[in-house]
Amino acid sequence: MTTRVTRYGAHALAAAFVAASACGGSGHAAADGFPADTLWMSAAVPVEHVEGARLFDEHCGACHGRAASGTDRGPPLVHAFYAPGHHADAAFHLAVARGVRAHHWRFGDMAPIPGLPGSDVERIVGYVRWLQREAGIR
């Protein structure tokens, strides 16, 4: 566990890094179809969760939405249902490995996500837990 001070230190670094790469790319990010608000979101992600955020966007974001806020294909994971006391980290690993039978919502089942190593799922969980804490879900 990092201390609060370190976390905010890393936060500032991540913001500086993202700002630098966003400006250096001569509009590259926008040309790739990345909306500006995604860039703003990634600028706020602490450096230790940047990789988790990238993995989340790639593998989970199509259904669970930007910053895990949900879409019409899947629920928000920044939600009291998925607080650590209700769905422990193991539930995330199980969801990825075996899929999820619809039970809380009406989006239908979640199919397994094959080929994602446990270490990547851990990074994704770290990012989602951080989003939850930011939203006051503990």
Q: Does 91 bind ligand HEC (CB under 6 A)?
A: yes
Q: Does 104 bind ligand HEC (CB under 6 A)?
A: yes
CB of 116 to ligand HEC, least distance (A): 6
Q: Does 110 bind ligand HEC (CB under 6 A)?
A: yes
Q: How many CA atoms lie within 13 A of 38 on its CB side?
A: 15
CA distance 106 to 1: 36
Q: Does 64 bind ligand HEC (CB under 6 A)?
A: yes
The stretch among 1-9, 25-33, 34-42, 98-106 that binds ligand HEC (CB under 6 A) is 98-106
Name the site residues for ligand HEC (rule: CB under 6 A): 59-60, 62-64, 73-75, 87, 91-92, 95-96, 100, 102-105, 107-108, 110, 113, 116, 124
